[in-house]
Amino acid sequence: MKETSIKGFPGTVRRTGTVIVGSGAAAFNAALTLARCGIPPEDILILTEGVNMGASRNTGSDKQTYYKLSTGTNVSDSVMDMARDYFACGSMHGDLALTEAAGSLRGFFRLVSLGVPFPADRYGEYTGYKTDHDPRMRASSCGPLTSKHMTEALEAACQRENIPLSDGRRVIRILTDGGRAAGVVAMGEADVTPENPAGLSAVLCGAVIWATGGPSAVYGASVYPASQTGSLGVPLLAGAGASNLTESQYGIASVDFRWNLSGSYQQVLPRYISMDGNGVEREFLPHALGSPEAAVRAQFLKGYQWPFSPENTDAGNGSRSSEVDIAVYRERAAGREVYLDFRRNPSLIGERGLSPAVIGEEAYRYLEASGALGDTPVWRLRQMNEKAYRLYLDHGIDLEKVPLRAAVCAQHLNGGLSCTAWYESPDLPGLYPVGECAGVFGVRRPGGSALNSTQVSSSRAAEKIAFENREPPSLTDNPGLADQLAEAGELGSLTGGETGAEEILSLMRQEGLCHDRCAAFLRDRDACAGLLADTERALSGIPSFRVRDYRALLALMIRADTLVTRCAMLSAVIAYADDGGLSRGSYLMAGTEGIDTAHADRVLETSLRMEDGTIRTENRFVPVRPIPETDNWFENVYNAYDSGARFASPQTAERKEDTAG
């Protein structure tokens, strides 16, 4: 990897084959797949802001789920069955549904071969269980830390392949050449000098794999790790389009230690309490749901139905489990802190005992089958899932001694950067969004499908990149790249002021809370329009900042990225509402009634550009691409595979405009 310098750019410029931005399960799998496709390690570079910072390594649930094609002997399944179930979730392209299904076993068993401890029985059967939006018991798990185990195993495999990793560097710009991604510019404290106060460096490359996770800094209440901020703004400004930015997923989570409170955390039936500023507590669910019986039964169902869903409210005429989320939100909006108390039973169980007549037949039989009929919620949790109890103990929280502070939090972005069936941006070729930042899913998604997608998307992207094996561009042959580098080099001029990192981070926290008030799981179109105008003004003010030091400049660049992302997300929410969109997925739309079905066969695409310091957004609805009718005749598949013709197969259908604001 040769280094050079260029006039007007204060940092070094290197060249390599592929740059991978991120260090989670998707990023490491992309690097490993490139190596196993024959790409030399010196032609691969992983760039990461912090190798231990991302969601893959720092998030989970009671038993974090991996979703795959069923391999249990008691369940019949097929790739097409799984693809149809994905597709039925709404607003998901059919070719992506097929690739996610077809690649699931390959990804799963690669992880098994790397030592990820997914459980098998004495005969070697990898059986499963049913998760959210899953009709076939396709879920597997190796406990609360499934994605952490995945990431660590993949990282170790990359180290064995001697794949270089550059830590402590945040990518702030994607370079383009002739409408293709051609490199990146990064900031790194190790590169700071008096001549280079922004710590800039650049890498020219033949392809960029974008694996930065979800846009966690956009949200206020969030279960993403505090160390992760995400980065959709950089590729959006480079010309990449996005899909389904309206579709985030929300659910109840602990907030002191950020973790999803799904599965057994709900099924063991802890007591939901809230406290006012004077420490006066009350058990609020029985009143919120109309009776103690309704409260306990809705609470149990939160285990299977953890993401908030309008369909699981009284207004949705289905299960009432999501009314628990609404009750939690209202308590917090009234200024009361909410806790799950695992030390005590809900009052109904305390008064009448744990029986089918009290908690319902389904809940009782589940606890009975799990050997979890203990006297208290924490004892039932330890009987059912000791790892889920010890997870909090390892983080200084003993559920036998203290209640657990909770809120309704953002957990996942179902949409993201638009991609083809090979996970390449159709708007910016050479850029490959993988993992959560790829706009794969739509209205809903099966629990654990995000972990599957990290492996499928990154494998397919790496395979196509390895097949094409593009050389990085040359600065001498591409003067436009030199101009982009010189422009990026001006970033250091924002230093020399008084604004510190904490002031910028405080601004971001306030902006996140504003986002939550109108654009989280409860949405208001007009309030979103007001916030969009505020966000555009804030973004236009970024060049006027003068910051104290490198840390403040880095925080300012993260804020700028977040503001760009928020503009795109808010504009998508407004376009959806203006097209008559109703409540769906994981949010309620204010001023509407019923559940949306009219948009399930369309994907909302969003693009933006910067003009004279002002951001411009555009939205349009496009029909979902259907599930492809494939030619599975073996000889034809064999020949297409052997020749590489599979990479030239049709990808996106014609991107015709439907309607959007």
Cα separation of 31 and 41, whole Å? 9
The residue whose two tokens read 């039932």 is: 380
Both tokens of residue 591?
Answer: 């001023």
pLDDT at 242 over 50: yes
Residue positions counted in the chain: 661
Cα separation of 533 and 522, whole Å? 19
Both tokens of residue 542?
Answer: 């970024």
Residue 81 burial (CB < 10 Å; 0-12/13-18/19+)? middle
Cα separation of 513 and 515, whole Å? 5
Residue type, 553: L
Angle between helices 449-468 and 94-102 (to 10 degrees): 90
Express each pLDDT in 117-157 by its tens digit.
999 999 999 989 888 888 888 999 999 999 999 999 999 99
Res 489: pLDDT? 95
Q: Answer with the residue of higher pLDDT: 318 or 290.
A: 290
Q: Phi and psi at residue 94, in whole multiples of 5°? A: -65, -35
Under 8 Å between Cβ of 212 and 578: no
What is the three-class DSSP state of 530? Answer: helix
Give 201's strand partners.
186
Res 661: pLDDT? 44
Cα separation of 655 and 644, whole Å? 25
Res 649: pLDDT? 54
pLDDT at 557 over 90: yes
Average pLDDT over residues 100-129: 95
Q: Is the Cα dihedral 277, 279, 285, 288 positive or negative?
A: negative
Cα separation of 553 and 31, whole Å? 30
Q: Answer with the residue of higher pLDDT: 595 or 7.
A: 595
User: What do you get for the CA distance between the two ends of the chain, in Å?
Assistant: 46
Selection from 198, 289, 189 nearest residue 547 by Cα: 198
* Residue 391: partners with Cβ closer than 8 Å, 6 or more residues away: 60, 144, 145, 259
Under 8 Å between Cβ of 624 and 92: yes
Express each pLDDT in 414-463 by its tens digit.
999 999 999 999 999 999 999 999 999 999 999 999 999 999 999 999 99
Domain residue limits, the chain: 3-247+414-481, 250-410
Cα separation of 522 and 220, whole Å? 13
Average pLDDT over residues 342-351: 96
CATH of domain 3-247+414-481: 3.50.50.60
| E-state strands within 555-613 | 588-589, 602-611
What is the three-class DSSP state of 577? Answer: helix
* H helix or E strand, kind and range, residue 12: strand 9-21
The alpha helices in 395-540, defined as continuous H runs, are 449-468, 479-488, 501-519, 525-540
b/e sequence 530-558, b meaning 16+ C-beta within 10 Å: ebbeebbebbeeeeebebebbebbbbbbb
Res 396: pLDDT? 96
CB atoms within 10 A of CB 396: 9
What is the three-class DSSP state of 125? Answer: coil
b/e sequence 235-247, b meaning 16+ C-beta within 10 Å: bbbbbbbbbbbbb
Average pLDDT over residues 30-40: 97
Cα separation of 570 and 232, whole Å? 14
Express each pLDDT in 559-568 by its tens digit.
999 999 999 9
pLDDT at 338 over 80: yes
pLDDT at 651 over 60: no
Res 317: pLDDT? 67
The residue whose two tokens read 């570079």 is: 45
Express each pLDDT in 141-198 by its tens digit.
999 999 999 999 999 999 999 999 999 999 999 999 999 999 999 999 999 999 999 9
**Mean pLDDT rounded to a whole number for the chain:** 94
Give 171's strand partners.
186
Q: Is the Cα dihedral 477, 478, 483, 486 positive or negative?
A: negative
Express each pLDDT in 570-615 by its tens digit.
999 999 999 999 999 999 999 999 999 999 999 999 999 998 888 9
pLDDT at 2 over 70: no
Res 487: pLDDT? 95
Cα separation of 252 and 258, whole Å? 10
Under 8 Å between Cβ of 44 and 34: yes
Both tokens of residue 91?
Answer: 């607003």
Under 8 Å between Cβ of 118 and 66: yes
pLDDT at 1 over 70: no
pLDDT at 384 over 50: yes
pLDDT at 353 over 80: yes
| E-state strands within 367-425 | 404-413, 416-417
Give 416's strand partners.
243
Res 659: pLDDT? 42
pTM: 0.95
pLDDT band (50, 70, 90) for residue 7: confident
Beta strands 242-243 and 248-254, pairing class: unpaired
Cα separation of 159 and 122, whole Å? 32
Res 21: pLDDT? 98
Cα separation of 320 and 21, whole Å? 41
Both tokens of residue 9?
Answer: 């750019």
b/e sequence 430-463, b meaning 16+ C-beta within 10 Å: bbbbbbbbbbbbbbbbbbbbbbbbbbbbbbbbbb
What is the three-class DSSP state of 616? Answer: strand
pLDDT at 506 over 80: yes
**Angle subtended at Cα 355 by Cα 350 and Cα 361, rounded to the nearest 5 degrees:** 135
Cα separation of 652 and 649, whole Å? 10
Express each pLDDT in 260-301 by its tens digit.
999 999 999 999 999 999 999 999 999 999 999 999 999 999
**Percent of all residues in the chain with a pLDDT value above 70, rounded to a whole number:** 97
* Residue 76: partners with Cβ closer than 8 Å, 6 or more residues away: 70
Residue type, 46: I
The residue whose two tokens read 């076993």 is: 105
Average pLDDT over residues 342-353: 96
